[in-house]
Amino acid sequence: MPKQLVKLISNTEAVPLESFVNMNNHARVTTDGIDLLYKMLVYDKNGRVTPREAMEHEFFAPIRALQSAN
């Protein structure tokens, strides 16, 4: 990483995604959705969920069920 960029980036504490849930959006938030976001928002690409793994995540089970019903 270029030295100029390193100077601009500082370590910060992680903010739990659950802290962004509020009265306006809580009806659209699911445990599976939060779990998938945690798996997608990983800086190291080797630790991040792959697109195929993401599509197989439980969050998308309702869509798979609709597809298999047709």
Write out pLDDT tens, residues 5-39: 777 777 788 899 999 999 999 999 999 999 999 99
pLDDT the model gives residue 1: 64
Could you give phi then psi for residue 8, rounded to 5 degrees?
Answer: -85, -25
The beta-carbon contacts of 54-60 under 8 Å, at least 24 apart in sequence, are 57/32, 58/32, 59/30, 59/32, 59/33, 59/35
The DSSP secondary-structure symbol of 53 reads H
Q: Which helix (H) or strand (E) holds 33?
A: helix 31-40
Task: Classify the C-alpha dihedral 54-39-8-5 as positive or negative.
Answer: negative
Domain boundaries, the chain: 43-70
pTM given for the model:
0.79
